[in-house]
Amino acid sequence: MTHDLVTSLRPLLTAEASAEAYASGAEPGDLEQAVWLRLLERLEAEGPPSDPQRWLRGAVRTEARRTLRRVRNERPYGTEPVGVAESAYEPERLALTAARHRALRDAVRRLPGRCPRLLEALLSPRDLTYREIAGELGISQGSLGPERSRCLGCLRRLLTPEVAAG
């Protein structure tokens, strides 16, 4: 049953993900993987949708909107206000930076599943490629993007109370 559902939905998912990816700033393959994950979660929890094509179109749009929100909210490194860069080597700033790094590493260690190993590999000073990380973790390279997104989402939820309390 599941195999038939996947086989029948694959062309539609490929088309929908390709159509939505550009506007959301996502890769079509990442959207596809995220929707497949949602479908598996749905099958496990509730069973197959009554109208699979309609559900799939909605799931693609939901994942695209989620990606777009994340892209809008994320800020690149190095966008510090004017004057902050000059004080980057002051003892107070160094202590605060070290404390932030410790808090991040502690939060990463508390994540579920293989998220700690994945994020440690991504944060590694060795600057590993996706191929190297996939080999190290024993997962496919195509699964890294969606897995990374899921792990970062978990990390955001874990850090939100700590950031709010600070």
- The pLDDT-based confidence of 100 (bands split at 50, 70, 90) is confident
- Identify the residue with better confidence: 69 or 166: 69
State the DSSP code for 87. Answer: G
Work out whether the CA dihedral 13, 18, 21, 27 comes out positive or negative: positive
Q: Mean pLDDT, to the nearest integer, of 69-78?
A: 70
Task: Work out the mean pLDDT of the chain and round it to a whole number.
Answer: 84
Going along the chain, which residue ranges are E strands?
Answer: none
- The answer to whether the beta carbons of residues 63 and 31 sit under 8 Å apart is yes
- The pLDDT-based confidence of 62 (bands split at 50, 70, 90) is very high
CATH class (in words) of the domain with range 91-165:
mainly alpha
Q: Mean pLDDT, to the nearest integer, of 136-141?
A: 88
- The pLDDT-based confidence of 79 (bands split at 50, 70, 90) is low
**Where exactly are the structural domains of the chain?**
2-73, 91-165
pLDDT at residue 139, rounded to an integer: 87
- The answer to whether the beta carbons of residues 48 and 6 sit under 8 Å apart is no
What distance, in Å, lies between the first and last C-alpha atoms of the chain?
Answer: 50
- For the CA atoms of 129, 130, 133, 138, the dihedral, rounded to the nearest 10 degrees, stands at -150
Tokens of 16: 């929908």
pLDDT at residue 85, rounded to an integer: 54
Q: Mean pLDDT, to the nearest integer, of 128-133?
A: 87
pLDDT at residue 25, rounded to an integer: 78
Q: Mean pLDDT, to the nearest integer, of 121-139?
A: 87
- The pLDDT-based confidence of 54 (bands split at 50, 70, 90) is very high
Residue 31 to residue 48: CA distance in whole angstroms: 20
Is pLDDT above 80 for 83? Answer: no
